[in-house]
Chains A and B, each alone.
Chain A
Amino acid sequence: MPVIDLATTPLRELNQALHDAAAPGHNDTEFEVLNPKGAHAVAVGVAAPVSIEVKGSVGYYCGGMNEQASITVHGSAGPGVAENMMSGTVVIKGDASQYAGATGRGGLLVIEGNAASRCGISMKGINIVVRGNIGHMSAFMAQSGNLVVLGDAGDALGDSLYEARLFVRGAVKSLGADCIAKEMRPEHLELLEGLLAEAGITDVKPQEFTRYGSARTLYNFNIDNADAY
C-alpha cells in the first residue's frame, strides 16, 4: 500500500499518484496520506475505485470532484469538502467547514461531527449525512439528492430549494424561502433507512426525522411573490 507523506512529498505528486491509479497497469487500490496538516486540494479529481485514508485534518476542497474513490479523513475538513463529487464516498471523522458537498452530483458524503454554514449548497444529486449539527443557509438552492442531519439545522434551511430532500432529526432554527415541512411517507422512511445504513449509523431510527422540501411556489417567477425573494 503506497504511503504518501505530505511532510516530504509535494501535493502535486500525491494527486498525480492518485490520478495514475485510474490508468491501465496501475494496481494499487489503497493509499495512505500522512501529515496533511490542513493542506488544500488533497485527493482531488480522483477517478478510480481506490481507498484513501488521510491521517489528519485537511484544508479546502478535499475530495473535490471525486469519482468512485472512498476517501476517509481522520480529522476535520476545511471549506468545500467533496465539492462537485460525482460518485464514491467521502467520510470526515471530525467536523466540516462551510459548503460541504457543494454542487455534488452523486456519491455519499458522511460528516461524523458538525458541518458549518451552507452544507449541501446547490447540491445536484449527492447524498450527505451529518451526525452533528449544520449551520445556516444549508441546502441553499439545492437541486437534487438527500441531506440527512441527525442534529439541528441553523437559519434559513433549504432557502430557494428545488427538488432535494432534507431530513432533520433535531430542531430547525428557521426555514428559508419556499422550504416547508412535508409528510414522511413510507418511501421516505425506506430511503432514509437506506441512507443511514450506508453511512454506518445504527443508533437512530428514520421515524425520528422530519422531512423538508420545496413548496414549489417560486418555481416560475410571479411578481406577487416578490416579497419572498
Chain B
Amino acid sequence: MSQNNHPTTPRKSSTFDDYTLSEIRRAAATGIYDIRGGGTKRKVPHFDDLLFLGASMSRYPLEGYREKCSTEVVLGTRFAKKPITLKIPITIAGMSFGSLSGPAKEALGRGATLAGTSTTTGDGGMTEEERGHSETLVYQYLPSRYGMNPRDLRRADAIEIVIGQGAKPGGGGMLLGQKISDRVAEMRTLPKGIDQRSACRHPDWTGPDDLEIKILELREITGWEKPIYIKIGGARPYYDTALAVKAGADVVVLDGMQGGTAATQEVFIEHVGMPTLACIRPAVQALQDLGMHRKVQLIVSGGIRNGADVAKALALGADAVSIGTAALVALGDNDPKWEAEYQALGTTAGSYDDWHEGRDPAGITTQDPELMKRVDPALAGRRLANYLKVMTLEAQTIARACGKSHVHNLEPEDLVALTIEASAMAGVPLAGTSWIPGKTGF
C-alpha cells in the first residue's frame, strides 16, 4: 500500500520557519544584510506581563473624577539652573530630520507642545520647524555632530548626549543616499545622494572620565542653564546608569530593544541589547545605590504604547517615559488607509519598516516633496496630542486605583508578574505568590 493513502499534514519547521526561509533566500539573492527601521519584532517579556493589584481592604483608592492625581515631572534638578517642567510624564524621543520629513518633525513639536511635554531633535541637527513649534526642545549631541552648533545648543531647553539606543547598542547609523535631499545634505555638510554614516563613538571623548569633562565643556558653553541628559541603550543598565551619574548627568534616558531606529541591520535590532523590562530595575538600583534616585531623573523608552505601560514604567522607578514608534503611529505611520500603496511596496499596513528607503506612503519617513505633503502638521500634531492625553488619563486611572495622588507614587509593591521571566526581570512577585526568582525562596 502506498504511503500516499495516509498523508500527514505538511509540517513546517519551527527552526526554519517561513520568515527564516525568506531571509535566507533574500540574502542569497542580494548579498547584503537586511536593513529596516523600528525596534525588535520578536516577542520579549514586556509590560503586558505585569499587572497592577489596585486598592483593596489594605489600600485606599482615589475617586476617579474627583480626587487629584498629578502627572507633572521636573527634569534636570541636579545641576541645571533651568530644569524642565513637563505637564505629563511622557516625552517624545529623538528622531532625526533626514530620517523624518520636515512636516513630520513639525507635527511632533506641535503635538508635544499641545500636551505640555518635550520633543527631541535627532541625528541631523535642529530645524526651524521643530524649534519654532516645540515649547520644550531637547537637542541631541551625537557622535556624528551633524548640524551641531553653539547657537542651537544655546536655544535648546536641554541637551541629550547620545551614547546609544535600544535598537542598536554599540551601533552607529546610516542614512541612505535616496533620502539625502539638498536640505539634508547641507545640514550635514555632505554631498547629496551619498550614504551617510553616523559614527558609533563620539569623536572627541572615550569613556566616562572624558565624558565628565565633555559635560563640563557643554555646561560652560551654555552657562550651566540646560539639563544634560545621557541616553544609553539597554546593554548594561546598572553600570551604564552609575557611570552616567558619575559623569555628571542630570537625567538618564534608558532605551530598551523595542525602541525604534530609522535604519539598522535586522540582525542588530533583533540580537543586540535587552528588553526594556529587563533594563529598568538595574538602572533604578544603580540610582538608589548612589543615593540619586529622583535626584537624577530616569526616562525609560522602548515599546511604550499606552497608559498602562507608562504607569508600569513609573511604578518600577522611572520618572518619565519616552515614545518614538507610537508617536509616529499617532501621526499616521502604517495607517491602513494607505494599504494599496503598502501592498505595492511588498508589505502591508502595520508591517512597513523600510523607513530608510524614503518611500513612506504615510509621508513621515521620507524626503520626497510629494509624499511629505500627506502629513498636515497641525492635524497630525493634534492627533499626537490626543494620544498623549489618552495615555496620561490611562496612567492616572491606574494610579488612582492604586491610591496614588501622583503617578510618581506608584511603586513596585503595586505590581505582580504573570510570568516567571517578567517576575525575575521586574523584581516583582509572580502573581498569587510571594516569589521573585533570584530574590526570595519558594
Instruction: Please report A residues at the B interface, Cβ cutoff 8 Å.
Output: 11-12, 15-16, 19, 40-41, 44-45, 47, 59-61, 64-65, 67, 79-80, 83-84, 86, 98-99, 102-103, 105, 118, 121-122, 124-125, 140-141, 143-144, 160, 162-163, 219-221, 223
Contacts and interface: CB of A to CB of B under 8 A. Distances in A.
B148 interface: yes
A99 B203 contact: yes
A61 B203 contact: no
Given A40-B216, A47-B150, A61-B217, 4 more contacts: A102-B203, A118-B203, A220-B193, A220-B195
A125 B204 contact: no
A122 B144 contact: yes
A41 B220 contact: yes
A44 B220 contact: yes
B204 A80 contact: yes
A86 B203 contact: no
22 contacts: A41-B220, A44-B217, A44-B220, A45-B222, A61-B217, A65-B221, A80-B214, A84-B148, A84-B149, A86-B149, A103-B148, A103-B204, A121-B204, A122-B144, A122-B145, A125-B189, A160-B197, A162-B191, A219-B194, A220-B177, A221-B176, A221-B195
Contacts of A11: 220
Interface string B330-371: 000000000000000000000000000000000000000000
Contacts of B213: 40-41, 59-61
Counting chain B CB atoms within 10 Å of each CB, the highest count among A40, A86, A122, A223 belongs to A122
A219 B177 CA distance: 9
B64 interface: no
B55 interface: no
A198 B220 CA distance: 29
Given A44-B220, A102-B203, A124 B145 contact: yes
B210 interface: yes
Nearest to B216: A41
Given A41-B216, A143-B189, A19 B203 contact: no
Contacts of A163: 190-191
A79 B210 contact: yes
Contact of A64 (B174, B189, B217, B224): B217
B189 A144 contact: yes
A15 B190 contact: no
Chain A binding surface SS class = loop
Interface of B: 30-32, 144-145, 148-150, 153, 174, 176-177, 188-191, 193-195, 197, 199, 203-205, 210, 213-214, 216-217, 220-224
Contacts, number: 102
A65 B223 contact: no
B217 to A, nearest CB: 4
B216 A223 contact: no
Counting chain B CB atoms within 10 Å of each CB, the highest count among A41, A67, A79, A162 belongs to A41
Contact of B221 (A44, A102, A125, A144): A44
A162 B190 contact: yes
A15 B224 CA distance: 11
Nearest to A65: B150
Contact of A103 (B153, B191, B203): B203
Contacts of B150: 45, 47, 65, 67, 84, 86
A105 B188 CA distance: 11
B201 to A, nearest CB: 10
A223 B217 contact: no
A124 B189 contact: yes
Contacts of B145: 84, 103, 122, 124
B441 to A, nearest CB: 51
Contacts of B194: 162, 219-220
A197 to B, nearest CB: 25
Given A61-B204, A79-B204, A124-B145, A12 B197 contact: no
Closest 3 CB pairs of A and B: A45-B221, A80-B204, A219-B194
A12 B220 CA distance: 7
Contact of B205 (A16, A79, A143, A162): A79
Contact of A122 (B32, B195, B203, B214): B203
Contacts of B32: 221, 223
Nearest to B35: A221
Given A12-B220, A15-B220, A122-B144, A102 B204 contact: yes
